[in-house]
Amino acid sequence: MADGVFNITKGRFVHWYTLPAANDAIIIVPLLAAGLEADDTLNNYDDLAALLAAANDEATAGGWNRKSLTAGVTVTVDDTNNRVDVDIPDQTWTAVAAGNNTGKLLSCYDPDTTTGTDSTVVPLTYHDFAVTTDGTDVVAQIAAAGIGRAS
């Protein structure tokens, strides 16, 4: 389950997970642990460029990279429990080098993967993802309840 939903997407994040546009995607972005801002500050950013321009550094070295999901995202309306659950597949990074430790994992919405920039990428949810790397594969195992829930 999500550790938090960014303020800009509260009440709307489920819509973006449905991938409503022709060239859109969900982007998974790992953030380094060093210099990571507190959740109450982190959740105030309205776009990925602003978030990364602050003290939050994206993990891009030693095997880390962004994951782009254009399929495999499921949105399930649960009328019995009066909620909507969103799920994505587990994500794997191969042989991540030691010293590239992470603190958070973001899910973001990229409205146009063909021409968009980080300033048009909307952060959706953030998750604790404290990983001390040692050269082995890293798997972000998404909880059985999914990456997010709206109720």
pLDDT at 128: 94
Among the listed residues 108, 150, 145, the one whose alpha carbon sits nearest the alpha carbon of residue 126: 108
84-108: pLDDT as tens digits: 999 999 999 999 999 999 999 999 9
Among the listed residues 21, 14, 127, 4, the one whose alpha carbon sits nearest the alpha carbon of residue 76: 14
pTM of the model: 0.92
Among the listed residues 102, 42, 108, the one whose alpha carbon sits nearest the alpha carbon of residue 73: 108
Average pLDDT over all residues of the chain: 92
Q: How far is CA 34 from CA 103, 118, 122, in A?
A: 8, 21, 23
Give the residue extent of every domain in the chain.
4-150
Are 124 and 2 in contact by the 8 Å Cβ rule? The answer is no
109-139: pLDDT as tens digits: 999 999 879 999 999 999 999 999 999 999 9
